[in-house]
Amino acid sequence: MALLPKPPEMPSDRFGDKINHILAFATLALLAALAYPRARRWLVVERLSFLGAMIEVAQSIPALHRDCDIRDWVADTLAVMVMTGVIALIARRRQTSPSR
């Protein structure tokens, strides 16, 4: 939906555009962690942040009638950082917890 000229309305739109970015990229980070559990955290952050940046660059294409906003990219990157951090904490807790 990031490159559709007129994306469909989402229930989360009432909370603002940044919420959609946060939800989308937190989900992508979770899926990346589940798909590639041995991947280094910062590699996942780097790649998903780059994806967010490229989406913003593509949205600057005039024919799409979309806006390129660096704050959207920042929201994407922060969401990925927070989600990967939470996942790392959970993984660390699982490793240090005693077996039952």
Asked, for residue 1, whether it belongs to a domain, the answer is no
Q: What is the pLDDT along the chain (100 residues), one digit of tens a residue?
A: 888 888 888 888 888 889 999 999 999 999 999 999 999 999 999 999 999 999 999 999 999 999 899 999 999 999 999 999 999 999 999 888 776 5
Asked, for residue 55, whether it belongs to a domain, the answer is yes
Number of structural domains (the chain) is 1
**CB of 80 closer than 8 Å to CB of 43:** no
Domain containing 65 equals: 16-96
Cα 53 to chain centroid distance, Å, stands at 11
Half-sphere exposure of 6 (CA within 13 A, CB side): 0
Asked, for residue 5, whether it belongs to a domain, the answer is no
> Which SS3 state, helix, strand or coil, does residue 53 take?
helix
Please state, in angstroms and rounded to a whole number, the distance separating the CA atoms of residues 30 and 36. Answer: 10
Neighbours of 58 (CB within 10 A): 13
